Amino acid sequence: MNHFPQEAAYPVTPASPQPVIGERYRLNAKLGSGGFGVVYLALDLKLHERPVVIKVMMRQPQDGYQDWRLKKFRQEAEALARLNHPGIVSVLDRGDLSDGRPYLVMEYVSGITLQDELARAPLALPRIGELVQQLGAALNAAHACGIAHRDLKPANVMLQNPDTEAEKAKLIDFGIAHVNESLWAGQSGAIVAGTRQYMAPEQLRGQAQDFVRCDIYALGVIAYEMLAGHAPFAGRSDIELFEQQKEVRLTWPPARTDLPPAVLPVLQQALAFDPAARYASAKDFGHELANLLRPAPRASWPTDKMPPPPVPVETQLLAAPPSPVAESVAEPVGGAMPLDSQFYIVRATDNEFSQALLRRDSIVLLKGARQMGKTSLLARGLQQTRSSGARVVLTDMQSFNAPQLASIDSFLRTLADDVAEQLELPDDPLQSWDERRGASRNFSRFLERQVLPSIATQLLWGLDEIDRLFSCAYGSEVFGLFRSWHNARSLNPQTPLHKLTLAIAYATEAHLFITDINQSPFNVGTRLALDDFSLPDVIELNRRYQHPLKSPAAVEQFFRLVAGQPYLVRLGLKTMAERHMDFAAFAARAAHEDGPYGDHLRRLLLMLMQDAPLCEAVRGLLQGQLQGHARLSLENFYRLRSAGVLVGESVQEVRPRCQLYADYLRLRLL
């Protein structure tokens, strides 16, 4: 049986009587209708009944606008197909019904709309800043592809994991998107499309030319509404609304006394009547507002001592009641852990990382499978360095969009611009960019002549999710550039590169993608590997979660189930603590899709199903038919180990990561 979250953008009603479309998608429930289409929740019959969302174009009334509606529906399909960003809903498939009406298959986004969340309770300031920053980054990615949304509003923003540390905002419904150079684009200026309350003044009058600035205006309206609890302008007619927009008089409710004074000018710029006076990019607006609303982080990472020695299980379980920091177990599990998290476990790698940064090593490599805590450890290293007075830059490779990764030149230009922005350098790094030198040489000159001379102390540059470069044709050239900086430090005592430390977090086996070891930074510098939690680590976390595991036997059984995988350990203990569940009840549902690990296990299965060789390799391993594991290639072994599915030092020693994975995958693959 499939279980879906009940929080949906629309009330669930019985689906259309047409059971299957495209010989693949079984309609399950009607989610709603609006614009030009009817939206259904459906099941993908070819992929283990995975939930998807299908938008089917409505039957067209003969009113003279049917061709325009068809064009706009197809335009949405084109817009979404061109976008690839975690903050934008993904298109999976498209087709036509037997009567010629087109349909669009999109990813199913669980959660609630921002509109529904705003109706529940006021949002905290840091959360508002984070959400606006996420939406700004997603819009920026769309705008970079020549696509503007044109109907941005809270109802078209989905919140996944709402009000948790792992909360993500996702844009949906590009139904009236404006696509530059679209096959379906035409003269439709006479038709004013959008939602009145969130339209820019020029869009309201049907005179918009720069739809990017219209989206920025709409994001400003949403930001104001999140802060104030109501829209900035409430004109009862288009003329009255237009006049209010022209004056841009923003006021706050009397109870909202916690806003920094600098917030109002930022909103006024986003809502400027003149499009040219608004922010140049949605990313800039989101970043500036988030900085004003974000509280200063608190560092709590010990850097001068190792974790205490392990204590016998019986002794720890019978220890004194939890310390005051463990009075709450509400901290969400997933994503980077807050710097002051009471549930962060210091491992041996933490001390090694700290010492490498204090030594100012040229390259520090943090390797670990998925969800091992690489980003959380990297964040603590950055904070340690920041607290010492040195400068810090963080590059998250997940934030780069497809055009920025299209070539080494576009990638390094974007990288240079991001570094300059984070360090607040006065000069534009691209002013001295000379294409005759090549991208790598241009970037090195920028680093050595503009960045490092402006810094009096150390520069720590954190590079997270660097695995994404492995799939780029020019990846080896970028890694060769990193290696050259390391070599320069050894060969030239006067080079400014002595100030630079690269901290690189990754999961994939680098040697699978970099064949020339002389071009690789992964075989030099300080190499650190993140391991699973040990049994003493799990005992300590059990104490911090207020002893949901009541006996040494329960602790050891839980440890065997999840094998110390950090995410699984924390989520399991949190679930048992919050639900007052004993281990027996927890273990009985652990490997089921409606159990505590359901979402995690489904993602694991989907990853395997999308790669037939990997799926067959795991199936063979579970069947015990890999005689000497000869059928598991070395490459697949490394890929599955990097993904956290398997463990073992060699192909001969390979085994499922934990009992939970083995139990679940047997149910699904055998």
Residue 234, burial from CB neighbour count under 10 angstroms (0-12, 13-18, 19+): exposed
Residue closest to 157 by CA, chosen among 185, 192, 126, 195: 195
3-state secondary structure of 53: strand
Query: What DSSP string describes 541-562?
Result: HHHHTT-SS-SHHHHHHHHHHH
The secondary structure element, H or E, covering residue 159 is: strand 157-160
**Catalytic residue of the set 151, 350, 418, 537:** 151
Element (H, E) at 584: helix 583-589
How far from each other are the two terminal CA atoms of the chain, in whole angstroms?
A: 18
Q: What is 624-640 written as a DSSP string?
A: T--GGGTTS-HHHHHHH
Question: Encoding tokens for residue 127?
Answer: 């959360």
Contact 660, 643 (CB under 8 A): no
- Torsion of Cα atoms, 247 then 248 then 252 then 257, to 10°: -120
Nearest partner of 200 among 242, 263, 258, judged by Cα: 242
Q: Does the active-site annotation cover 116?
A: no
Q: Three-state secondary structure along 325-362?
A: HHCCCCCCCCCCCCCCCCCCCCCHHHHHHHHHHHHCCC
What are the φ and ψ backbone dihedral angles of 91, each rounded to 5 degrees?
-90, 135
Distance CA 207, CA 298 (A): 48
Q: Measuring CA to CA, which residue among 208, 211, 170, 167 is closest to residue 190?
A: 208
How many of the other CB atoms lie within 10 Å of CB of 408?
19
Tell me which residues are annotated as active site: 151
